[in-house]
Amino acid sequence: MDQQQYLSAFGEVLLFILAGVIFILVTLFVSKLIRPSRPNPEKLSTYESGEEAVSSAWSQFNIRFYIIALIFLLFEVEIVFLFPWSTVFANETLIKETKGLWGWFSFVEMVIFILVLALGLAYAWVKGHLDWIKPDPKPTRFSSPVPKEHYHAINEKYKSSK
């Protein structure tokens, strides 16, 4: 039965996905027909532990998630390159034709590639982007031509006028 190919492999995957979509739509529709619907303002308000919800949730969130996403992107691209390489790496005909030289060649090639990316990971690690709990922030060192005492003097001067 498999010899007769009426659909390409991905055509069959598409059939499967369509069946999934139909299943979901039917379930949602049946549920919509059966369930009661008696909304009131209390029910439709946002849940915030029984309190009135304060402001919208669509606001800023921690920048660290963004950095993680950036590093992820880097490695995901690496993995995309590694997948085709890994199939070719184990290719027996290529290994036989080159008397085993192929393995070393592709291996060294990939070591160089991974090392470059591992350098990126090491950089992020050293910079502390992978630490979820940040160590106490240290003030940046700087040298200013204006001595500290001047600032202090100005602060003192305008303190009383407040």
Residues within window 99-138 making contact with another protein, judged by CB under 8 A: 100, 103-104, 107, 110-111, 114, 118, 121, 125, 130-133
* C-alpha to C-alpha distances, 14 to 1, 9, 20, 27, nearest whole angstrom: 19, 9, 10, 20
* Residue selected from 51, 58, 63, 145 as contacting another protein according to rule CB under 8 A: 58
Cβ proximity to another protein, 38 vs 141, nearer residue: 38
SS3 content of the chain, % helix, strand, coil (to 5): 60, 0, 40
Contact region with another protein (CB under 8 A), list: 20-28, 135-143, 145-153, 154-162:
20-28
* Residue selected from 51, 57, 128, 137 as contacting another protein according to rule CB under 8 A: 57
Between helix 101-126 and helix 63-89 the angle, nearest 10°, is: 170
Block residue for tokens 């940040």 = 134
- Among residues 135, 131, 136, 139, the alpha carbon closest in space to that of 64 is found at 131
Would you give the DSSP letter of residue 92?
Answer: H
To another protein, the closest distance from the beta carbon of 140 in angstroms equals 25
Cβ proximity to another protein, 101 vs 154, nearer residue: 101
Block residue for tokens 């070393």 = 104
Q: Please give the size of the binding site for another protein, defined by CB under 8 A.
A: 72
Block residue for tokens 């940046």 = 140
Q: Does 75 bind another protein (CB under 8 A)?
A: yes
Q: Provide the token pair at 136.
A: 């106490």
Query: Where in 79-98 is the site for another protein (CB under 8 A)?
Result: 79, 82-83, 86-87, 89-92
Q: Does 26 bind another protein (CB under 8 A)?
A: no
